[in-house]
Amino acid sequence: MKLYKKEGNILQIISFPTENAEKGDYLLVEDGYAGKALIAQVIDVQFAAVPGVLEELLRTLPDGGEPLQGEDIDPMEIAPHITYIQDASLLICKIRATLENDMLSPSSSWLPSRSQSTIKKLSTPLLIKLAKIEGKLPIILGGTKDSTLLTIDASSLDGTLNIITGKKGCGKSHLSKLLMVSLVGYKATVVIFDLNGEYGNLGVTNDGKRNLYYGKIHVFTPGQNFKVALEQLNLNTVMGILVNALHLPGTSAREFRRLWKSLKERGKLSMQELGEAIRDLNCNQHVRDALASRFHSFVNSGFFTDCLAEATLMDETLMKTKDAGGALVINLKNTSNVDRQIIVEYVLGKLVDSLQNWKLRAVFLFAEEAHLYLRETYWDDIVTRMRHYGIFTTFITNQPDTIQETIYRQADNIFLFNFTNEHDLDVVSRAARVDAETVHSIARDLPPHHCLALGRVVCDFPIVARVRALDIKTMGETRLFFKTVN
């Protein structure tokens, strides 16, 4: 390999067919005289502009247009050398860091010698070692192209905002499960908004046996084992549900607040009493109708109960996970859009409450396709206010444009799977810790189950890895009509 050009933080390197450099590979451009080296990542592989190639290709086409048939008698065997030159490639590389005295710095301001520099591939283990990607709390993400394990540090997910995105069926949920169980393994509290009911069996192996996490996975299915009594709720949480999820207007909200306080003072905070109180409320007809319709939404959700024995004490589970770690899977499968929003409002309100009171230290929240249940104003809330309380969110989506730009700009880690659509890639490249060229070039060619890890987890050295398999019962498979036929 030979250094050809440097423009900004882009290096162009000539590579010959035997050198086998591919997109995603890291190269070390060492200048012995300067005593420094550049670490650059291949983000694109192009044909080198070898002079005469066009003539070479065109001359086998006679005027008739059909390819010319013929034979080459080449006793000196020059042809392989011609092919070797013709197939030379130009590696477009992004400079990631400068290595000097075993220390990395993000600088790319110096120019290595074109004639004297040596260029060689930088193996992933060496890169991981130099960049200190591995930490004290390792999470094995998967294998890299050179068959080494990519291990990230769990603490690099701590206090961060993460995004897992990619095309449908490329392995996003699988990675989120891997991160989740790994965090649970380190005794973290994890909450998952499980839209498709696929996280419930994380405690069971593929062959149906209990695994390490069996006792730590707590599935909450609204209307079944997840119900709340009004008595357990504080007014702020209920108001949150009414205003944000059920869009109760201001005047009605004020009336409801009065009603709630009155019932609470009388010790009659139940669904039945609330229903009757709304029916008997002496106020404007529109206000009463508004409150009545919200009350029916409460009733229809099946999430609220007057039976305390039926009510789930989410606090207890959260307390359990505080010391031993665990995952609370909020199963949103088979719930209507309105019910989903009610439940999410409740859970988030509960988490904020627990965190505010230091009942919990921090929570890792995994939100799949969050645009389906998260109100718009919550996005900013999650990345700013809730982050400070200790809710560290990971968004998982196959529609990157449903996540607001502000979220991308503040994302600390992005796990990017394959995308072919330019628009999707444009959206992802808005992330502050990502450069657009890397995203566009590498993500487009990622095979299924391979992800490009970007951001803090890889110390800003984007690395492609095949996400490792998990011995857990998967439930995220798409139901197919022709499955038995095939």
Footprint of other proteins on this chain (CB under 8 A)?
Answer: 50-53, 55-56, 59, 62-64, 66, 68-76, 78, 81-82, 84-86
Nearer Cβ to other proteins (35/75) = 75
Closest CA to 201 of 475, 468, 477: 475
Distance CA 325, CA 186 (A): 7
Q: In the complex with other proteins, which residue's Cβ is closer, 54 or 307? A: 54
Nearer to other proteins, 85 or 470 (CB): 85
Minimum distance of other proteins from residue 10's CB (angstroms): 25
- Choice between 15 and 354, CB closer to other proteins: 15
335 and 343 Cβ atoms separated by less than 8 Å: yes
State the DSSP string of 368-433.
ETGGGT--HHHHHHHHTHHHHHTEEEEEEES-GGGS-HHHHHH-SEEEE-----HHHHHHHTTSTT
CB of 57 to other proteins, least distance (A): 10
- Quote the least distance from Cβ 64 to other proteins, whole Å: 6
Rounding to the nearest 10 degrees, give the CA dihedral for residues 472, 476, 482, 484: 20
Nearest approach, Cβ of residue 63 and other proteins (Å)? 5
Q: Phi then psi for 392, rounded to 5 degrees? A: -110, 110
Least distance (Å) from other proteins to the CB of residue 54? 9
Amino acid at 49: A
- CA gap 141, 162 in Å, rounded: 15
255 - beta bridge partners? Answer: none
Determine the longest span between alpha carbons in the chain, in angstroms: 106
Secondary element (H or E) of residue 464: strand 463-467
- Closest distance of CB 53 from other proteins, Å: 5
**Smallest distance from other proteins to CB 73, Å:** 5
Phi, psi of 484 (to 5 degrees): -70, -35
Give the three-state DSSP class for 20: coil
Amino acid at 2: K
Is 18 or 285 the residue whose CB approaches other proteins more closely?
A: 18
Question: How are beta strands 326-331 and 217-220 bridged, if at all?
Answer: parallel
Residue 132 Cβ, how far from other proteins at the closest point, in Å? Answer: 41
Tokens of residue 344, six digits: 């999410």
Comparison of 54 and 235: residue with beta carbon closer to other proteins: 54
